[in-house]
Amino acid sequence: MNQIFATAFQGLFLYLGLALLVAVLLGVLRSRRFKGWRGERAVQNTIRKHLNPLVYVDLHNVTLPTADGSTQIDHLIFSPYGLFVLETKNYQGWIFGSERQSQWTQQIFKKRSRFQNPLRQNYKHTKAIQELLGLAPEHVHSVIAFVGDCEFKTEMPPQVTRGDGFVSHIQSFTQTVWSPEQMQELLDKLEAVRLQPGRATDKQHVAHVKELQAAKSQPKPKIPSKTPARPKPEPVAEPVKPPPPDVVDILLEPVAAAMVELPVDVPPERAAPVPDRTPATVNRMNEVRECPQCTWPLRKLVMQRGPLAGQGVWRCTNTAACSFVQEETSQS
């Protein structure tokens, strides 16, 4: 009986071990790193199959020092027609993107994911190789090679290729810019400046990439606006109300002219007296009141001419902003 249980447990442990091994293997095969390695191997095999090794010299996984750490290039192809910097992308599904977009989109059925524009990613590679080797920008060409079961759903620039399309793009350059001696000089210079290939260099580069990704994920500090603050408007001084005078001198003739604007039907018994052309006399009034509209002092006027001759009126002294006038009979 014990032997039966022992055999059963051995079979169970063997089954669990195989299941765990299969799960780990599937995880490795589906990992991004393995997909990238498999895509790079596919491009490397295509290069050696379709490009003449006597004309094109290919290097792979070249790590170069930069000001902020290092950068790793998938493929470098030296030729008399220039230097080609290849970035490999192993993707499936539909690919959407344009040359100016910072992020491209991959869609598999209803699932969408974004990834960095490979043209921008490869721009750093081309700039690094230009500075280290002292090359002219027109002699360094950026090429993006998509491998895998993918399809472009937007129009792509000619340097973005799918499958082995990068081969024909490289072969389209036919103008010689370097002699064989110059090519050999560039290759020797590259071997002198590149980081030593190996697991230690790869590990150091991966750690540097993780640091850059962590720095990008952190929120950026808010930069104070450089726009100068608007100056606060100065308070407008209110007009100072003069103190009420003890005695107010009034020339009545201008006031009478302002008061009589519309024709007034005068009864026969109250016919207006004959206008006196003598200068108007000055009346002095000791009584002072405040304007109900602006609280300025009122002046008491006695009409000398017109249908209201001999009748007193109150008028505001703030003639610039107030037109208050009131008869004496309604005020009293």
Q: What is the rounded distance in angstroms from the CA atom of residue 297 to the CA atom of residue 278?
A: 29
Per-residue confidence at 328, pLDDT binned at 50, 70, 90? confident
Q: CA distances (Å), 269 to each of 273, 303, 307, 308, 310, in order? A: 11, 19, 12, 14, 16
In which residue are the tokens 């009346």 written?
283
Contact 304, 272 (CB under 8 A): no
**Is the predicted pLDDT of residue 213 greater than 80, yes or no?**
no
In the chain the domains, ranked by start, together with CATH numbers, are 29-214 (3.40.1350.10), 248-258+282-331 (no CATH)
Q: Decide: residue 273, CB within 10 A, 0-12 exposed, 13-18 middle, 19+ buried.
A: exposed
Other beta carbons within 10 angstroms of residue 175's beta carbon come to: 7
23-49 pLDDT, tens digit each: 555 554 455 566 667 888 999 999 999
148-161 pLDDT, tens digit each: 999 999 999 999 99
Q: What SS3 string covers the chain?
A: CHHHHHHHHHHHHHHHHHHHHHHHHHHHHHCHHHHHHHHHHHHHHHHHHHCCCCCCEEEEEEEEEECCEEEEEEEEEEECCEEEEEEEEECCEEEECCCCCCEEEEEECCEEEEEECHHHHHHHHHHHHHHHHCCCHHHEEEEEEEECCEEECCCCCCCEEECCHHHHHHHCCCCCCCCHHHHHHHHHHHHHHCCCCCHHHHHHHHHHHHHHHHHHHCCCCCCCCCCCCCCCCCCCCCCCCCCCCCCEEEEHHHHHHHHCCCCCCCCHHHCCCCCCCCCCCEEEECCCEECCCCCCEEEEEECCCCCCCCCEEEEECCCCCCCCEEEHHHHC
Tell me the average pLDDT across 100-105: 95
Mean pLDDT, the chain, rounded, equals 78
Contact 177, 121 (CB under 8 A): no
What phi and psi, each to the nearest 5 degrees, are found at residue 120?
-70, -35
* pLDDT value for 202: 60
What phi and psi, each to the nearest 5 degrees, are found at residue 208?
-65, -40
217-233 pLDDT, tens digit each: 666 666 655 555 666 66
Per-residue confidence at 281, pLDDT binned at 50, 70, 90? very low
